[in-house]
Structure 1
Amino acid sequence: MSEIPKSLRVLIIGGSGVFGSRLAELAAQEPGVSLTLAGRNLDRLGKIANALVPQSSVLQLDRDLIEPGDLEPFDLVIDAAGPFQASRPQVIAAALGSGTPYVDLADGRRFVADFPSFDDAAKRCGVPLVTGASSIPALSHAVLDRMVSRWSAVEDIRIGIFPGNRAPRGLSVVQAILSYVGKPVKVFREGEWQQVPGWGLTHSEQIPGGGKRWASVCDTPEQDLLVQRYRPRRSAEFFAGLELGLLHHGLAMLSMPVRWGWIASLLPFSKVMLAAAKLFLPFGSDRGAMIVSANGEDQMGRPINARWSLEAISNRGPFVPVLAALCMIRRFRDGWPPEPGAHVCAGLLCLSEFEDDMAKLGIVHRFEETHGKPADVLTGGAKAA
């Protein structure tokens, strides 16, 4: 076990963003943790830092121009800036060069898939690097690990995230979504890898406390990691949905020029689409949700179905993606970090590590389990649209 620092000095890059600011709010309450918030906009950082108890310091820092010397004063750096879909590894290189442990909230499929390439360098430098410390794959796999631990086989897995329309949104989140909308996405369906259009396979999904919402397939690391870790026989999919049908189907319609090859991507329209989405903030609700569903066979070989659901009201949903990073801060503070190397945060954390934080935030989660064949195959009803 490594020596516990008197005060874990944590640098949060993107500290004024939707997720970075919420991570700072929670981490500031942790004993033995001192925070520095970093980003390009000192005014915004200062407002966030001054609102924290205790107050944190701020550092003007361009994520794309970071150097090892920028990280030397810190015991841990957390990259909460995003988007990671086209991110370059400057922060990782700086962490390796300075010997600073690194954690991120990455949801970029290629970024996470390429992360193990840093493993040899991280071991040589004696530095733990952790990617994907967020709702997916950290929380989703913690749920699945508890759900299927006693199963003999997994048939299907589906994971969905549904933010409330009134939840705050940032440019990096919009850019992450638009990076794949209309483009081919590889998913494991019907026992084989298939290509479907990003933001396609549109279907309705029942969510806890919120009725039905539309959902579409997304290009995330889950599409690969679920297959690698749980070996489902038939399918493994991740999808997300906007609360307002007008916005959800509107984005599906806007994907058509990309699917037809008329334009390469919707990314150039990110700022316009963010501004348009903000016009609809008075509508919908502040209720977010997440679901994890699976079916397979129990230890006796009997068909079994399980579903976990999370419900976050009063705009507490944006805290969910930062809970895994908060858990990692505690692990580094308490002297039991991951071993040196490059780790994907899938199976690193237990669901019990999230539960107290969710309870404090008023976030409700529950498991349901039944035996027998499911009424509908988990891939049923999802159509390429």
Structure 2
Amino acid sequence: MHKLKPNIVIHTSGPFQAQGYEVAQACISCGAHYIDLADGREFVAGIDQLDDKAKAAGVMLISGASSVPCLTSALVEHYKDEFSVLEELNYGITTAQKTARGLATTAAILSYTGKGFVTLANGQPKTIFGWQSLHVRKYTGLGWRLLGNCNVPDLDLFPKRYPQLKTIRFYAGLELPFVHFTLWGLSWLVRIGLIKNLQPAAAKMLKLSFMFDFLGTENSGFHMTLIGKDNKGKTKTINFELIARSGDGPYIPCMPAILIAKKLANEKITSTGATACIGIIDKNEYLTALKDLDISWIQSAS
């Protein structure tokens, strides 16, 4: 990297769940800004341990420039002032069967399938299990999709940033019900100890998944429900839903790195340090960057 002398490095080589910060530290050493698309909970939440070194080197390290926590935090930041108290976040992503998917993403999901992790529920830490809490949600234009628990950086970052939160739940789902049910069943085998870890089977499971693409579509979705109290103390709910068609879903997690790289190159980001990707891209910036794609969104309040 010293020979290349880059100005900005974008790290996309996951899975990040078991990685260290060698790439980020190399960027500090050579004076390059760093952006990653990590979705690993501990990885993104822990990037601030490099804050002092990054400031001393005069560089910016940004982790999690992806759907989580960049898009999700942009939505919370946009809507939070409509609440006197923001108490609950309930949100998730449902992927298209025909989406462009790779080994790193598959391995990341399988790393916590059936494994316990902690979230905030009714004001208390609660252990939940990856790909469990099976339920369905109806997405506009997509119909019903199955969802299950997903472990993301938000579960660490948001309770600290929004201390009035009492509950936060993030879910993910697969388009084809029998594929989702299969992974849900395997999660129980991990939970009861018959299988230690599904991650070593990532390559085989990914290859098998492509066999069923003819049954699916290129349409994916995202939703976020924010619940709290309005200025009169009454319960207020805001729903935001985003639908991606024509296989354009993968552009959503890629967009923050592009926007941030442009900002760094044009010196519109002048701060230095190491941080999770929160408060760097706002909702309007994000959605404007998606407007030429086959992606639409709706919002409602009650």
Equivalent in the alignment of 1:96: 28
Does the 8 Å contact 1:131/1:343 carry over to 2?
yes
Q: Does residue 313 in structure 1 map to residue 245 in structure 2?
A: yes
Inter-partner Cα distance in structure 2 for 1:343 and 1:107? 14
Figure out how many residues of one structure are paired with residues of the other and give that number.
302
C-alpha deviation, 1:208, in angstroms: 2.3
2:80 to 124, 129, 148: 148
Match of 1:125 among 57, 62, 73: 57
The Cα shift of 1:284 comes to 1.6
User: Which position in structure 2 is the counterpart of 1:106?
Assistant: 38
Distance 1:70 1:287 in 2: 43
- Local SS of the residue matching 1:366: strand
Quote the Cα distance in structure 2 between the aligned partners of 1:267 and 1:90: 22
The structure 1 residue matched to 2:203, chosen from 271, 276, 283, is 271
Q: 1:334 maps to what in 2?
A: 266
User: How far did residue 147 of structure 1 move?
Assistant: 1.4
Residue 69 in structure 1 maps to residue 2 in structure 2? yes
Backbone CA RMSD of aligned residues: 1.3
Decide whether aligned partners of structure 1 residues 262 and 367 sit closer, same or farther in structure 2, where only a CA change above 3 A counts.
same
Deviation at 1:71, TM superposition (A): 4.6
Which of 311, 317, 323 is the equivalent residue of 2:255? 323
Distance (Å, rounded) in 2 between the aligned partners of 1:153 and 1:206: 27
Distance in 1, Cα, partners of 2:38 & 2:270: 18
- What's the offset of the Cα at 1:355? 2.2
Q: Which letter maps to 1:272?
A: K
Pair member with larger Rg? 1
Partner residue in 1 for 2:278 = 346
CA shift at 1:366, angstroms?
Answer: 1.9
1:232 Cα deviation after fit: 4.3
In structure 1, list runs of 5 or more residues that go unmatched: 1-67, 371-385
CA separation of 1:71 and 1:257: change in aligned 2, threshold 3 A: farther
Identity of aligned residues (%): 33
Give a deviation string over 1:83-108, Cα, whole Å, max 9, x none.
Answer: 11111222111101100000001100
Q: Is the 1:171–1:271 Cα contact (8 Å) retained in structure 2?
A: yes
Deviates more, 1:179-188 or 1:333-342: 333-342
C-alpha separation in 2, matches of 1:327 and 1:338: 15
Query: Which SS does the other structure have where 1:290 is aligned?
Result: strand
More deviation, 227-236/357-366: 227-236
> C-alpha displacement at 1:238, in angstroms?
0.8
Residues 71, 77 of structure 1: 8 Å contact kept: no
Alignment of 1:1-385 (within 5 A): 68-72=1-5, 74-370=6-302
Q: Is the 8 A contact 1:71 1:94 kept in 2?
A: no
Instruction: Specify the alignment match of 1:55 in structure 2.
Output: none
Deviations 1:116-150 (CA, angstroms, capped at 9, x unpaired): 10011111111110001111111111111111223
Measured after TM superposition, the shift of residue 263 of structure 1 is: 2.9
Note if contact 1:204-1:213 (Cα within 8 Å) is conserved in structure 2: yes
Higher mean C-alpha displacement, 296-305 vs 242-251 = 296-305
Q: Deviations over 1:19-69 (max 9, x none)?
A: xxxxxxxxxxxxxxxxxxxxxxxxxxxxxxxxxxxxxxxxxxxxxxxxx41
Give 3-state SS (helix, strand or coil) of 1:317's partner.
coil
1: CA distance, partners of 2:82 / 2:183: 40
Query: TM-score under structure 2 normalisation?
Result: 0.96
Q: How far is the alpha carbon of 1:75 from its aligned partner?
A: 1.4
Rate the CA distance shift 1:295–1:99 in 2: closer, same or farther, 3 A. same
Structure 2 letter corresponding to 1:306:
I
**Counterpart-to-counterpart distance in 1, 2:235 and 2:19:** 42
Distance between the aligned counterparts of 2:18 and 2:297, measured in 1?
33
CA contact (8 A) 1:184 1:195 kept: yes
- 8 A Cα contact 1:71 1:98, kept in partner: no
Q: In 2, distance between residues paired with 1:338 and 1:348?
A: 12
Specify the SS of the correspondent of 1:179: helix
Partner amino acid, structure 2, of 1:317? G
Whole-angstrom CA distance in 2 between matches of 1:338 and 1:144: 24
Structure 2 distance, partners of 1:145, 1:366, is: 17
C-alpha separation in 2, matches of 1:236 and 1:214: 19
Name the SS for the 2:275 alignment partner: strand
Uncovered stretches (5+) of structure 2, i.e. residues with no partner = none
Where 1:69 maps in the other structure, the secondary structure is coil
Residue type of the partner of 1:79?
Answer: H
* Higher RCO (CA < 8 A, seq sep 6+): 2
